[in-house]
Structure 1
Amino acid sequence: MSEIALYRKYRPEKFKDVLGQKHVTDVIEGAIKNDSISHAYLFAGSRGTGKTTVARILAKEIGCTGNDLYEIDAASNRGIDDIRELRESINTLPFESPYKVYIIDEVHMLTKEAFNALLKTLEEPPKYAIFILATTEMYKLPDTVISRCEVYQFKKPNQTIIKENIEKITKKEGFTLDPSSSDLIALLGDGSFRDAIGILQKIIRSTDDKKISVEEVERITGAPRGELVNDLIKNINEEKLSDALKSVNEAVNNNIDMKVFTKLLLHKLRMILLLRFSKEMSKEIKDEVNEEDYNFLKKIADDKDTNIKSSVLKEFIDVYNQIGKSAVAQLPVELALVKIIQKE
């Protein structure tokens, strides 16, 4: 028997269990209570933010059973024939529910002809038909489709929300995470509950220990060791260009993804900036990292002559956005180091 994916096992089943999207769930819940349900919804937002989950809960809350719920993946059912088939099925009454609900995921993948066919359905739907369109790329949708939907923007959850969710699931699975471990998993999740939970499951499958250390997370995910990121920060602060370039080269030799490496670097540079200018953030940061890391970051932040300034952070934000476009992944990082340290 195959193991159930953790993100499915812990998928929220009620609006109150949905994390980070209260601005969406409160409005929809209110509409259901007031019997003012829309015939078409558009859920837009990045992957793993809960769009399909909220769509399923909405269907359940209005009394739609599995026999009258239709989930369509527009990535693989994108043609006009698929939408025509959908239109024909709409004409039959619900099997056992007051509504027939159609969830169309990745709706932006539909062809132009399919969109035109869908538009006709959205213009004159039967009273019992409700459409929930979900997309990660709303800008690809025709305005005519958007204008016929009640639009909800799903926010990318912040790292704290993802971290708390990861820690809760870990505990339910009988494991424990130290703060640095859960922080790293949340960071690698990149604003996606599903991705972060997927990373956690990979780690749980690969460990023999019930207590998961940050070293295990680094080893299993291929994330750079914290010491390597700290070495680079130290070399930037001390303006040691040759050593800084060596740190990058070591990351490359260890097959570390440059985007992940830069993201972790940005995360720690941000902490230094916050420790320097916001004393109130000190306790929060202390809870996120281990003692050695905290002391390292605090020492740099407290140095009035530190070279870790906002301009350095800005430079690496630009680098992060350039990495995917470069033929040599580490080149944007190396160029930034030369610019920062040599002050070119």
Structure 2
Amino acid sequence: MSLALYRKYRPANFAEVIGQEQIVSALEGALRQEKVAHAYLFSGPRGTGKTSIARIFAKRLGTADVDLYEIDGASNRGIDEIRAIRDAVRVFPFDSKYKVYIIDEVHMLTKDAFNALLKTLEEPPPHVIFILATTELHKLLDTVVSRCQTFAFKQPSEETLREVAMATAKKEGYELAPEAATLVALLGDGSFRDTLGTLQKVIGAAASKKIDYEEVRTLTGSPKRELVHALVSAIFDKQLDQALTTLRKAGRANLDMATLTKMLLHTLRTLMLLRYAPDLSAEVKKEVSKDELAFLEATLKKPYKEALSQVLLAFLDAHQALARSPIPELPLELAFVRVLGEE
């Protein structure tokens, strides 16, 4: 069985970390000045490198594998597990200056477990360093957060994910077209891990070493570009009926509304950049195919004077509402009514 790409290309040192430069700089400064805290808290979206950087930091501290403990907070969430850690930290490291405990998804701990952990954080042994990681900072007790040096991991940009997808494909011996890489990045949903997971799915079933947009779309089951074009045209032609009818068909075809919304947002953002930032047009044009560029340029020639920023905001709201909507198409339908149907 081949190794997952996100594991194969997981950064092994700080120089290989992408998109978290400020955090890397701060941690390297702490190492250089020998001002290492007893507890760190890494918060941020999934797949942004929290545990990878935690491992690298432990390695830079000189912690041997035998003194590095990785704990999943979701499956070791009770007070008994934390008490076991509290007892274990009293033991000196086997072969290192520090014992390092990485607790992932720490927000999953029970209240009693948090209280037990808090006691350890209040008076930690000098040979122990805790690195807590969470995707939901708001669920942590303030008393826990206040005892940690906190770092907020940022979500990588679509451009960064696209570059990672293209570079990784090249390392694997594939040529991923820029537009295809953009779709892979969109499907990655702001996560390095999910982007590489999507890429692995694509190259695992690709017909050749050259992969274009349509092949990525087909292999991932993403909505057709024509569907996105029809919805964008409905906006610029102010045809609410056309938009709602198209969405109805998409719903009956069981298309993923989250992916459709992301593709729609991407196209609308590209149109906004082409309209309002002529200096960026050359760069934007490199990222799309000739057919896509022809559609974008033709769309911008239409007599649509409304602010694209407001259109984008409506569909951003729709994207955020998708997770809690009982009807998959409803957030998009409301966005189109908001943009085209209400005076």
> Counterpart amino acid of 1:331?
L
> Counterpart amino acid of 1:293?
E
Cα deviations by residue, 1:244-269 (Å, 9 ceiling, x for unpaired)? 22321232233221111111111111
How far apart in 2 are the matches of 1:197 and 1:59?
25
Cα deviations by residue, 1:310-335 (Å, 9 ceiling, x for unpaired)? 32222212221222222111122223
How far apart in 2 are the matches of 1:313 and 1:139?
28
How far apart in 1 are the matches of 2:338 and 2:55?
50
1:327 is aligned to 326
> Counterpart amino acid of 1:58?
F
How far apart in 2 are the matches of 1:298 and 1:167?
26
Give 1:307 deviation, angstroms.
5.4
- Correspondence list, 1:1-344, <5 A: 2-306=1-305, 309-344=308-343
- 2:339 alignment partner, SS class: helix
Cα deviations by residue, 1:108-149 (Å, 9 ceiling, x for unpaired)? 111111111111111111111000000000111111111111
Q: Is the 8 A contact 1:203 1:217 kept in 2?
A: yes
Cα deviations by residue, 1:287-322 (Å, 9 ceiling, x for unpaired)? 221111112112322445455733222221222122
Cα deviations by residue, 1:168-192 (Å, 9 ceiling, x for unpaired)? 1100101111111000111111110
Higher deviation after alignment, 232-241 or 69-78 = 232-241
Question: How many pairs are equivalent?
Answer: 343
How far apart in 1 are the matches of 2:336 and 2:322?
14
Q: Is the 8 A contact 2:72 2:103 kept in 1?
A: yes
How far apart in 1 are the matches of 2:333 and 2:160?
33
Cα deviations by residue, 1:140-161 (Å, 9 ceiling, x for unpaired)? 1111111111100101010111
Higher deviation after alignment, 144-153 or 327-336 = 327-336
How far apart in 2 are the matches of 1:47 and 1:109?
14
> Counterpart amino acid of 1:330?
E
Q: Is the 8 A contact 1:300 1:306 kept in 2?
A: no
How far apart in 2 are the matches of 1:125 and 1:326?
45
Give 1:241 deviation, angstroms.
2.7
TM score, norm. by length of structure 1: 0.96
- 2:129 alignment partner, SS class: strand
Give 1:89 deviation, angstroms.
1.0
Q: Is the 8 A contact 1:285 1:294 kept in 2?
A: no
Q: Is the 8 A contact 1:236 1:308 kept in 2?
A: no
How far apart in 2 are the matches of 1:255 and 1:216?
20
> Counterpart amino acid of 1:342?
G
> Counterpart amino acid of 2:300?
A
> Counterpart amino acid of 1:112?
K
How far apart in 1 are the matches of 2:217 and 2:245?
20
Q: Is the 8 A contact 2:162 2:182 kept in 1?
A: yes
Q: Is the 8 A contact 1:31 1:37 kept in 2?
A: yes
Unpaired stretches in structure 2, ≥5 consecutive residues: none
Q: Is the 8 A contact 2:236 2:304 kept in 1?
A: no
Q: Is the 8 A contact 1:45 1:135 kept in 2?
A: yes
- 2:34 alignment partner, SS class: coil
Give 1:340 deviation, angstroms.
2.8
RMSD: 1.4
How far apart in 2 are the matches of 1:198 and 1:31?
33
- 1:42 alignment partner, SS class: strand
Cα deviations by residue, 1:48-101 (Å, 9 ceiling, x for unpaired)? 000000000000001101100000000000000000111111111111111100
How far apart in 1 are the matches of 2:307 and 2:265?
11
Q: Alignment identity in percent?
A: 50
> Counterpart amino acid of 1:219?
T
- 1:314 alignment partner, SS class: helix
- 2:131 alignment partner, SS class: strand
Higher deviation after alignment, 99-108 or 249-258 = 249-258
